[in-house]
Amino acid sequence: MSSHHISIWRRSSNKLRQSEVWLECFYFSGLLIAALVLFLVNLANLPLLDPNEGTLAQVAKEIYQSTATFNWIFPTLWGEPYLAHPPLVHNLVAIAYSIAGVNEFTTRLPGALLGAVSVLLIYNIGREIFIARIPALFSALVYLTCLPVVRYGRLATLDGPLLCFELLTIWAVLRSRRDLRWALGAGIGLSLISLTNGLFGCQILLISLLFLLWDTPRLLTSANFWTGLTLGAIPGVIWYVAQWFRYHEFKTTEDLIELFLAQTAPTSLELGLPIGYELLQGLQYFLPWIAVGLTGLTVIQQNFHWGWGKLLAVWLGGYFVLGFLVIHQDSWLVLPIYPALALAAGRQLDQICNLPSYVAYPRSWMYGFALMAIVAALAGLNWGIRNYVDFYLPFICGSLSITFGATAIVIAQQDKQFIPLLFWGLFISLFLLFISPHWIWELEGVESVKPIAKLIQQHTPPQAIIYSSMPLKRPSLDFYSDRQIVNQSIEELKLHWQQNHTVYLLVDSVAFNKLKLPQQAIAKDAQFESSGWMLAIKNRKSILARQLR
């Protein structure tokens, strides 16, 4: 006769445990597959975005191509020390280059993979603070269907890795409350953050310590906790000390401080985008989950006696205080508060699922989703009839309009099925956006550099320096042409042309006329005559050089 314990549900504890494990694996694998689909689909079909992607790709390519022993520790940009950002993400991209070649896909792949992993980490954080599975699942799905999280995670920037390392650190801190060995994991997470953005690592460290001071103060007096945290943080400290000893003789202290205060915020708006693209740039941060996340803040206020209430209060409050009062605005990042808002929204949605049927949902949600449905429908009509480009934009807007409209109707009917409906509709809409050529909408407002880069490659020798009349720096042009492009004024271009024996000038028609360059100096290439740019060449073999002699 079997002697194992039988539960009140007439199932053995082993079978219950096995079913729990299988269910956890199902949720975990489902989230991973969904995250990989959104983060990796159509990753290689659009050129790199200036300035962040182009610069990161060029630094990574120099690490990959360099024969120097310590170039991965002391990266360079066109031979000069690169002190704009720590090199962790650049080294990950360089590793991808060594495996699958230099292209857009390998440039964006490391950040996209880390962004996908962050979805699993926020689920684990939810399981740690909420215990129950449903609010953790809702939090992960809210996070996965936030447009800026996925869009910037897909770009070759520091945003996706920072989110991943932030969540890894928070998860390890939470786990260390029950097992001090996880303090080492928290230290490693802080090292990874500091090797991506040093200032942000200090923010997360302060937020973590404030949370522990409020929730589990005994940890702050534990020698084992501080030992693990210190050991994990050693790699980050060693790298900054190495930078100081290598560059302090010819770089000022301000340069090293700038390295610590590395900028990671997207700066694509500097390219002079049309007002419509700037509007999209701003709206993406607020729609559609921000309303649910903000209402979740009231839930936090009512649950300060729980660990999750303390964590989210310190996470959001501490980050805003540090961001607005202590840190310069240019160094403040928006995306790192999304995990905390997603966790608040997940908890709010879980409470809604457990509400009695007679309790009314917030009317503002119904009106808000109805308004978003109308706006999406009008945008679809605009792009489908008036300003038709392709079928993608009307299709995406139609999907969003149907999703928001159906959600508003279901909310009005007091039906909790609006939650899976909204998740599924947003997932499909984001998938449609990312398989389209419009997911980097900033590219549609600027000139493509690939044809110009091909012209430069065909008519200039390797390692040549090209002087240009471009008004703005385009690091992607440097990357694609494998030449350094130096933007200069008309007067400086004229001096180069007059004083140097070998000069390559990339100029537009206006600059060409102002410089009064001879027609025979222009590289003849019918394929690029319509690009609006001309490559003027002066060297010892040119007619002009012979005339000067």
pLDDT in tens, 326-347: 555 444 577 888 899 899 989 9
Dihedral (Cα; 535, 541, 544, 549), 10-degree rounding: 150
Residue 474: phi and psi, rounded to 5, are: -120, 85
Average pLDDT on 101-127 reads 96
| Residue 18 pLDDT greater than 50, yes or no | yes
Looking at per-residue pLDDT, the higher value among 149 and 69 belongs to: 149
- Mean pLDDT of the 269-285 span: 60
pLDDT at 369 over 80: yes
What is the phi/psi pair of residue 508, to 5°? Answer: -90, 180
Task: Identify the DSSP state of 325.
Answer: I
463's CB contacts (< 8 A; 6+ apart) are 483
The rounded distance, in Å, linking the Cα atoms of 109 and 488 is: 34
Mean pLDDT is highest, among 8-17, 35-44, 341-350, 387-396, for 35-44
Most confident of 211-225, 286-300, 323-337, 374-388: 211-225
Q: Which pLDDT score, from 0 to 100, does residue 532 have?
A: 76
Residue ranges of domains in the chain = 17-202+217-263, 358-444, 450-548
DSSP 520: G
Asked if pLDDT for residue 13 goes beyond 70, the answer is no
Convert the pLDDT of each residue in 468-498 to its tens digit. Answer: 988 888 999 999 999 999 999 999 999 988 8
The pLDDT value recorded for residue 257 is 63
Q: Does residue 159 register a pLDDT over 80?
A: yes
The band of 116, judged by pLDDT with boundaries at 50, 70 and 90, is very high
Among candidate residues 184, 169, 179, 188, the one with its CA nearest the CA of residue 122: 169
Q: Judge whether residue 233 has pLDDT over 60.
A: yes
The percentage of residues in the chain with a pLDDT greater than 70, rounded to a whole number, is 85
Whether the per-residue pLDDT at 143 is higher than 90: the answer is yes
Rounded to the nearest integer, the mean pLDDT of the chain is 84
pLDDT at 10: 47
Identify the pLDDT of residue 296.
Answer: 72
Span 214-227, pLDDT tens digits: 999 999 999 999 99
Residue 16 has pLDDT above 70, yes or no: no
207 band by pLDDT with thresholds 50, 70 and 90: very high
pLDDT at residue number 276:
61
Tens digit of each residue's pLDDT (9 = 90 or more) over 416-461: 899 999 999 999 999 999 999 999 988 887 888 888 898 898 888 8
pLDDT of 107 higher than 70 = yes
Q: What gap in Å lies between CA 217 and CA 51, rounded to an integer?
A: 44
Which pLDDT belongs to residue 255?
A: 61
Distances (CA, A) of 427 to 43, 314, 343: 17, 30, 18
Confidence grade of residue 1 (pLDDT, cut at 50, 70, 90) = very low
